[in-house]
Amino acid sequence: MHALRTRFSNGRARLTTITFAAMLVAVPAAALAAQEQPDNATVERIKAEEMNHSQIMDFMSWLSDVYGPRLTWSPNLTRAANWAMSEMKQWGLANVHEETWDTPRGLGWENERFSLMAKTPIPFIVEAVPQAWSASTNGTVTGPAMLVTAGCSDELEANYAGKLRNAFILTTPPENRPVTDFAPRATRYSDSALAVMEAAQPNAGGRGRRGAPPATNLSPVCEQQAAREAAAAPAGRGRFGRGGLNLGDTSTVRWLERQGVAAILLDDTRHTGGDIGTNNGASRVNGAPRVPTVHVAQESYGRIARILEKHVPVTLALDMQNTFYPANTSSFNIIGEIPGTDPALKDQVVMIGAHFDSWHSGDGATDNGAGSGVMLEAMRLLKTLNLHPRRTIRIALWTGEEEGLLGSAAYVRQHFGTRDASGFHPTPEQQRLAAYFNVDNGSGKIRGVYLQGIEAERPIFDAWMAPFKNDGMRTLTINNTGGTDHLSFIGVGLPGFQFIQDPLDYGSVTHHTNQDVYERLQPDDMKFNAAVVASFAWNAAQRDAMLPRPPEPGPLAARGGRGAPR
C-alpha cells in the first residue's frame, strides 16, 4: 500500500446520486436494504466452496515463496505475472493479457547478493537490506564507519571534503526508542472502534494546506543555505524546507559519489525488533548518481553509532550485487475477465483489483500479495462454480502502486477519462463501469466497506453483507480511505471502494519491511476475504441497476493530489 493519503473531493453531483440520496432521507436505510435482492443462494455456494476447497494459501505460497518480491520494472515482476496469467487461463478466464503502461521514470532493478558485516572492534552481523535502485559495490568493499554531523549540503562540503573516501557514512544520529508502548503489535478492530467508524458523518471540509516545518537548530552555514534556497524557490517549494542533510537532493548524492564514499547507511527508525523498512528508493532514473545505499535496522545502526561515540573505530565490509535493466522502462497491469451473458448488460463491467507489485526486502506477502491472492481466488471461485454473470467481471492486478498508483492511474486514463485544468473528460467506457472493489490493507479479515462519501451505497452494501454479518462483517462508514488504487477510480467519478480490514500487525510490523512474508498471513481471514470479494462482484454483476456514483469530478487544481488520474 502506498504511503500517501488522499481525500475525496466533492464536485458536481450526478442526478442519479442526488435522487438516491434524497430517497435515503425519506426512507430508513434498513428498509432500503430490505428492498435490495442480493443472490444469497449463490453467495452460500461461494462460501461453501471457499471453506471446503480453498486454494488461496497455495496461491500465496507460489506468489510469496517461489516468486517473492515484485519490485515494479523488475524481471521478477514479469516472472510472477506470467505465473498469475497461466493460472487464470487454466481456470478458463477470457481476455487474459498484460496491458502495458509507460513512464519516463522506470528502471528495472534486482538485488542478487547482499552481506554487511562489522569487522572491528569485533565481528558482528549488521542487519540491513539494500535500498531499492541502489548501486552495487565492486565486490566486497571495506572501510571505516563515520557519523557525519552536517545539517545541510554546504556544511557537509565545508567540513568533510576530502575526508570521506571509502567511508561508510551515517548521516543521522541514532534514535533511542526504549519500549514505552506495551500494547500488542497485532490487533483486530474492537466493536467500539467499528461503532465509531459506523457513526462517522460526512466531512464537507477539505484538507488544509500543509506547509513545510521550519528548519530549526541550524548552524550559521545551514541558516544561510536555507535562506538562499527559500529565496530562490517558489513559495513552499524550497529543497531545504525540513532542515537537515537532504539525501533526496541529487546534487548532494552526486557530491558524495565524487568523494568516493563506500556506502550510505540509512537508520530505519520506523520499526524495531529487526524490522527494516524499505519504502524509500534511490533514483530509478538512468544517469542518476550511483552510491551504494542500505537501510540498517535501528538496533544495528544504534550499535555502530554508540561505538563511534566512544571513539572506537568500526570497520565495515559490504558485498552488494545489484543488476539494472535499462530496457525495463515500461510496466503492465494484468487483466482477465469472465464475460457477461445478459445482452443488455454484458458490455458493463464490474472490476476487482489489487496491486501486484511490492517492495523488495520481504516477499511482498501482506503488501500486497494478500490482496492479489484474494482477487485471484475470487475469480477462481466464480469459474469453479460455473457462474455466468449478467455483467462482465474483470480482475486487474496493478503494478507501480508503490511508486504512486501508477498502473491503476494509467489504466483509468486510457479507459475511463482524464482531468485537467479545463475540466473532466470521460470516455464512453466510463459510463459502462458498474463498480471497482479493492483490497490492500494486509491479510486481516474484512469488517466492512469505506463508502468514500457515497451514502447511497449504504443500504445496498448492508444487504450484501447479510450472509457475512455473523462472522464480523457489519460496518459501513461514510469515511474515505486513501493510499491505494481505488482512488484512481474515484478521481474520474467512478464508484471505487476499499474494504475495512482488521489491522493485525500490518501497520506495526509488516508494511514495507523485511517482515512482509508468508508467515504473517492469516489463512482463515484470507479465505473469508476471497468469499466476500467474489460475492460482492457477483451481486454487482447481477443487480438490475449499476451502483450509485460519486459526484462528477471538476477541473484538476494546479496541484492535484497524487493518485487522481491526470
What pLDDT score was predicted for residue 11? 36
| 349 & 399 share domain | yes
Last residue of a domain, one of 267, 298, 325: 325
Same domain, 334 and 412: yes
pLDDT above 90 coverage of the chain, percent: 72
Containing structural domain, residue 138: 108-172+245-325
| 188 within domain boundaries | no
Sign of the CA dihedral with 520 first, then 440, 373, and 36 last: positive
pLDDT at 151: 87
How confident is the model over 138-152, as a mean pLDDT?
A: 95
Rounded Cα distance, 124 and 306, in Å: 15
Residue 535 lies in a domain: yes
Question: What CATH number is given to the structural domain containing 64?
Answer: 3.40.630.10
Question: What SS3 class is residue 58?
Answer: helix
Per-residue pLDDT, 496: 98
The pLDDT value recorded for residue 2 is 55
What's 461-500 look like in SS3? HHHHHHHHHHHCCCEEECCCCCCCCHHHHHCCCCCEEEEE
Burial class (CB in 10 A: 0-12, 13-18, 19+), 445: buried
User: CA-to-CA distance for 244 and 226, rounded, in angstroms?
Assistant: 10
| Rounded Cα–Cα distance for residues 295 and 272 (Å) | 13
160-171 pLDDT, tens per residue?
A: 999 999 999 998
Is 508 a member of any domain? yes
Question: 58 with 152, same domain?
Answer: no
Residues listed for the chain: 566
State whether 320 and 344 are in the same domain. no
Alpha carbon distance 230, 244 (integer Å) = 14
Distance between CA atoms of residues 3 and 194, nearest Å = 23
Residue 557 within any structural domain of the chain: no
Predicted confidence at residue 26, as pLDDT, reads 46
Which one is predicted more confidently, 178 or 364? 364
Taking 70 as the threshold, does the pLDDT of residue 244 lie above it?
no
- Beta strands, E only, 82-139: 94-102, 108-120, 124-125, 128-130
Same domain, 413 and 518: yes
- Asked, for residue 367, whether it belongs to a domain, the answer is yes
pLDDT of residue 235: 44
- Tell whether 196 is covered by a domain: no
* Beta-bridge mates of residue 115: 319
* E strand or H helix that includes residue 398: strand 392-398
Q: From 500, 499, 496, select the one nearest 412 (Cα to Cα).
A: 496
Mean pLDDT of the chain: 87
Quote the CA–CA distance of 266 and 235 in Å, as a whole number: 29
Strands (E) across 232-390 are located at 263-268, 293-297, 315-325, 330-338, 349-355
- In 103-252, DSSP assigns E strands to 108-120, 124-125, 128-130, 140-147, 168-170
Q: What is the pLDDT of residue 552?
A: 87
Residues 228, 218: Cα–Cα separation, whole Å: 14
End of a domain among 325, 351, 376? 325
pLDDT for res 248: 79
Of 153 and 566, the one with more pLDDT: 153
Question: Which residues, 6 or more positions from 209, have their beta carbon under 8 angstroms from its beta carbon?
Answer: none
Q: Which pLDDT band, with edges at 50, 70 and 90, does 180 fall under?
A: low
| Same domain assignment for residues 361 and 490 | yes
Chain centre to alpha carbon of residue 557: 24
Query: For residue 142, is it within any domain?
Result: yes
Cell of 424: 473532466
Same domain, 284 and 375: no
For residue range 365-423, list pLDDT tens digits in order: 999 999 999 999 999 999 999 999 999 999 999 999 999 999 999 999 999 999 999 99
Greater model confidence, 189 or 249: 189
Q: Are residues 367 and 306 in the same domain?
A: no
Maximum mean pLDDT: which of 11-20, 22-31, 468-477: 468-477
In the Cβ-directed half-sphere of 523, how many Cα atoms lie within 13 Å? 10
Q: Are residues 493 and 398 in the same domain?
A: yes
Max mean pLDDT among 91-105, 172-186, 244-258, 336-350 falls in 336-350
Q: Is 115 part of any domain?
A: yes
Of the candidates 269, 295, 325, which is a domain's last residue?
Answer: 325
Which ranges of 199-342 does DSSP label H, i.e. alpha helix?
Answer: 220-232, 250-259, 298-309
pLDDT one-digit tens code per residue, 474-520? 999 999 999 999 999 999 999 999 999 999 999 989 999 999 999 99
Q: Does residue 4 surpass a pLDDT of 50? A: no
- At CA 109, angle to CA 108 and CA 114, rounded to 5? 175
In Å, how far are 6, 283, 367, 512 from 3, measured between CA atoms? 10, 18, 12, 9
Q: Are residues 442 and 526 in the same domain?
A: yes
Quickly state the pLDDT bin for 28 (edges 50, 70, 90): low
So what's the pLDDT on residue 212? 39
If asked whether residues 271 and 382 sit together in one domain, one would say no
pLDDT in tens, 527-563: 999 999 999 999 999 999 999 999 888 888 754 444 4
The total number of structural domains that make up the chain: 2
Claim to verify: residue 433 and residue 289 sit in the same structural domain: no
Looking at residue 126, which CATH number applies to its domain? 3.50.30.30
In the chain, the percentage of residues whose pLDDT exceeds 70 is: 85
The cell for 458 is 449504504
pLDDT(15) > 80: no
Q: What is the pLDDT of residue 272?
A: 63
Q: Which helix (H) or strand (E) holds 448?
A: strand 446-450
160-174, 230-244, 259-273, 276-290, range with the lowest pLDDT: 230-244
